[in-house]
Structure 1
Amino acid sequence: MKSKLLKTVVLASSLVFLNCGDDVTSAISDFTASLSSSSAGEVQPGTSSDSRWSAGAEISSSDAAQPTSGTTVEAGSSATVPGSSADVGPQAGSSSAAAPGAESSADVAASSSSDDKCLASSLPNACGDAPASSSATAPAVSSSSEKAPAVSSSSSEEKVESSSSEAAKPKGVFLAEGTDETKDQLKVKYIERTGHDGGGILAYPEQLSNDQKHAVVVWGPGGGTEPGAYGGIIRRLASHGFVVIALRESPGNATQAIPALNWLEKKNKDPNDPLYQKLDMTKVGCSGHSMGGLESEQALIKDDRVITAMLNNSGDLGHTAMSQVSTSKTIGIVYGEGGMERPNAEADYNNRGVKAPACLIKMTGGQGNECQQGECGWGHGSGPWGGMAATVAWMRWHLGGEDNRKADFVGSSGKYINGPIVGERGNWKGQCKNF
């Protein structure tokens, strides 16, 4: 009976030892030292027949060492987190809440008190289940002094483009957005009594482009006619984006057209001139009526700046000039079915020596009294007035780069091949070669 009672006391003491800390261990040692002997079947401290306790589990004072301030207890370490006087919050940086499962020093002291009910109990599990092993670890708690992971600034990864970088400028020369050659498009600045000899007319869009340069058209008046008589076609060309210089007169040998281009070249280089750096002097076309047509044809032959010409009611008297035009340039003639220029226009075009891309466009179905080769109707003054749309479309094609207009002139059917003369009586009848 005495042996059984002793076993019960020792077992209860062992349970208290495992759950109540170093102070309880000291009390148990004093108690067991007073016992004179024990039987061979006594249960030793630290073991139990209860299967919920792990055999060989040992809790030492070293296992209960507190982490120093500023360190992190990692999950999986063999150290347990005992009661600590330092407050450890549930989140890194908090100093007001205790970590889950951590005991304060006051709690440990209370558990060692002699009036603790678990010490007075004779039941083997009065102080609760023991941990499965002394190697069980508390959840990792980051110290408030631990640095947060470095965060890269998003601004260092973003590409910042300079707002001052210029947008890509549009290619080619400036043209009015409106493409209808039968109508004026832009407001025009129209200056008379100007030019290299003070007798010409200068016309261009009121609002010159800041992004694109403007192509140039030289207009030659008919013999004995002032340039002002052609105000309609001069304004029409300028309204489509061209800078137009109309000559005072047309000798027919380029002696007026070339000086006019030199005059524009100087204006293009003068910082004090409104046309400063506004002109593309590699995109120059010539056009004119009658003698003005001959002036245009000769300028095309003699001046490298001129790349195309459209003669109105004209044609070389010797029927050979068109054959002298470079194959890198283009030339066209608009004429009336009954106009006096008809024989020269057709013979100049039909010369077998013509190698340049060329077109011959006749206006038919007019009501005029002029007649040629049995046809009456559109006469010698047809091109610059009723037929001005053909000249505007030609310049937009060859100077402005609107290659879609080629179909209007070249082929078996098209606007200036067999189409109606818009706003007028009759039809176009055109033919081209070398394109």
Structure 2
Amino acid sequence: MKSKLLKTMVLASSLAFMNCGEDAVTSAMNNYGNFSSSSVQEVQPGDESSSSTSDVQGGGELNQQGGTEISSAAESSSATAQNPESSADVVASSSSVADPASSADVAPASSSSEAKAVSSSSEKAPAVSSSSSEEKVESSSSEAPKPKGVFLAEGKDETKDQMRVKYIERTGHDGGGILAYPEQLSNDQKHAIVVWGPGGGTEPGAYGGMIRRLASHGFVVIALRESPGNASQGKPALDWLAKKNNDPNDPLYQKLDMNVVGCSGHSMGGLESEQMVIQDKRVITAMLNNSGDLGHTAMSQVPQGKTIGIVYGEGGMERPNAEADYNNPGVKVPACLIKMTGGQGNECQQGECGWGHGSGPWGGMAATVAWMRWHLGGEDFRKADFVGSSGRYINGEIIGERGHWKGTCKNF
């Protein structure tokens, strides 16, 4: 290349001398491309790119734009197979001396030839191809199908916490609620939601045991700041969760099934839950704790396709309303009435004796957890614990506490 440069300079000088003008020299040099100082430096002996430039000269001729012309894809394929490094150098050197168009033409030719080489290699070795395809089939067949339904903790004992829980206070749509959910959220299944309503004049934090227990079983729990008893707090709480479920920056993004929602609560919180299952289409079940409609008609207004239950104490002041609400002849949906008995050995109805007004959220929380695992989580085997003549919440012992459950159900 240096000899060509010297010849060119001699020729140019001769022409310039003969024509006595710089334009003639420039025209003559342009006929051989742009010989810049960088181009000359690339072909100096000892430079790492000298071998690549040599490959360019051997594989083709410099065109007028300074690029490299490769006569055919077959030649490129041959060069690539024999010396992959020189193939890479071809592209690199062409970019230094060629325009973008000619450089782009080099890369696709080399790429297509490499693809052909791989294809022919696979044809010569059918055993390898067959082996790889067999591995793919085995991998495909071994993939476990995604589980159906919402996520539930593997441990099924409703009397115990099952998973570690994130517990966030002073949050929610009004900044006064509590949000709790499993630390390890599922990647394969959505999580069902439980809305918890506190009793009148009681902060949600007083029910930390119930909130944590529900969350530890796989539910996302939002506890309300207060319970007016008319669904005016439950609805915006669910709307707030729906926004989090649609926020890509939120930990709960796409983790919630907004159509699998249960409501529960104590006293006034029970009334809030009852109105939520009546008014909100997203709510499919409710379990009232020590509560019941004062007018004894609300349970009869629960829409078809939903379920409702009440846990109450033998001596709780809620007892008359709980029993009358359940016994209303207009109740057509599946419903249960579950009484806690034997709190002090004797059942009574006057004053706070035996299992009283605070029994459900504390000594009786297992019934609410089991109910939600059944109606939200789809554990149909739990039906036998509630419905029939004998079962855990029909006549079984209150595990870890004094007394027995005394339950009855209808419309199942």
**TM-score surpassing 0.5?**
yes
The alignment yields a C-alpha RMSD, in angstroms, of 2.2
| Structure 2 letter corresponding to 1:299 | M
Matches within 5 A, 1:267-346: 267-346=244-323
Greater Cα shift, 312-321 or 152-161: 152-161
Is 1:184 paired with 2:154?
A: no
Cα shift at 1:272: 0.2
Name the counterpart of 1:391: 368
Q: Does 2:215 align with 1:221?
A: no
SS in 2 for 1:260: helix
Cα distance between partner residues in 1 of 2:334 and 2:276: 17
1:376 Cα deviation from its structure 2 partner: 3.8
Q: Counterpart of 2:112?
A: none
Higher helix share goes to which structure?
Answer: 2
Instruction: Report if aligned partners of 1:220, 1:247 keep a CA contact under 8 Å in 2.
Output: yes
1:281 partner SS: strand
1:151 to 1:364, Cα distance in 2 relative to 1, 3 A: closer
2:119 matched residue in structure 1: none
The 8 Å contact of residues 293 and 311 in structure 1, kept in 2 or not, is answered as yes
Closer, same or farther in 2 for the Cα pair 1:383/1:161, shift >3 Å? same
Distance in 2, matches of 1:375 and 1:411, equals 30
- The residue identity in structure 2 corresponding to 1:419 is G
1:201 aligned partner:
178
Report what 1:170 is aligned to. Answer: 147
Cα offsets for 1:328-361 (capped at 9, x unmatched): 0000000000000000000000000000000000
Aligned to 1:201, the other structure's residue is in SS state strand
Q: Does 1:259 align with 2:240?
A: no
SS at match of 1:343: helix
Residues paired across the two proteins, number: 286
Identity of aligned residues (%): 86
Which whole-Å CA distance do the structure 2 matches of 1:390 and 1:231 have between them?
16
Question: Does the aligned pair in 1 maintain the 2:336–2:407 contact within 8 Å?
Answer: yes
Q: 1:430 aligns with which of 381, 397, 407?
A: 407
Alignment partner of 2:381 out of 401, 404, 416: 404
- AA aligned to 2:277 is L
CA–CA distance in 2 between the matches of 1:420 and 1:156? 62
Structure 1 length-normalised TM: 0.63
Q: Distance in 2 between matches of 1:400 and 1:193?
A: 28
The alpha-carbon deviation at position 327 of structure 1 amounts to 2.0
**Superposition TM-score, scaled by structure 2 size:** 0.67
C-alpha separation in 1, matches of 2:328 and 2:300: 7
Give, in whole Å, the separation in 2 of the partners of 1:204 and 1:255. 23
Shift of 1:326: 1.3
Shift of 1:161: 2.2
Distance 1:167 1:180 in 2: 26
Shift of 1:155: 3.9
Aligned equivalent of 2:83:
none
Partner of 1:236: 213
Moved over 3 A (4+): 150-160, 162-167, 368-371, 373-376
| Contact 1:371 1:379 (8 Å CA) reproduced | no
Question: Which position in structure 2 is the counterpart of 1:117?
Answer: none
**SS of corresponding position for 1:348:** helix
Change (3 A) 1:291 1:184: same
**C-alpha separation between the residues in 1 aligned to 2:171 and 2:386?**
35
SS of match in other structure, 1:300: helix
Q: Structure 2 counterpart of 1:221, which letter?
A: P
Counterpart of 1:161? 136
Contact 2:312–2:359 (8 Å) recurs in 1 = yes
Aligned pair partner of 1:350 in 327, 335, 342: 327
Q: 1:288 to 1:368 in 2, by over 3 A?
A: farther
Q: Secondary structure at the match of 2:136?
A: coil
Task: After TM superposition, list the pairs within 5 Å mapping 1:12-27 onto structure 2.
Answer: none
Contact 2:323/2:337 (8 A) holds in 1: yes
Secondary structure at the aligned position of 1:161 is classed as helix
Asked if the contact 2:345–2:403 (Cα under 8 Å) also holds between the matched residues in 1, the reply is no
Give the gaps of 5 or more residues in structure 2.
1-123
Structure 1's 178 and 230: CA in aligned 2 closer, same or farther, altered over 3 A?
same
Answer yes or no: is the 8 Å Cα contact 1:368–1:378 preserved in 2: no
SS in 2 for 1:202: strand
Residue 417 (structure 1) aligns with: 394
Q: Deviations over 1:268-325 (max 9, x none)?
A: 0000000000001111000000000000000000000000000000000000000000
Return the offset for 1:219: 0.1
Unaligned runs of 5+ in 1: 1-149
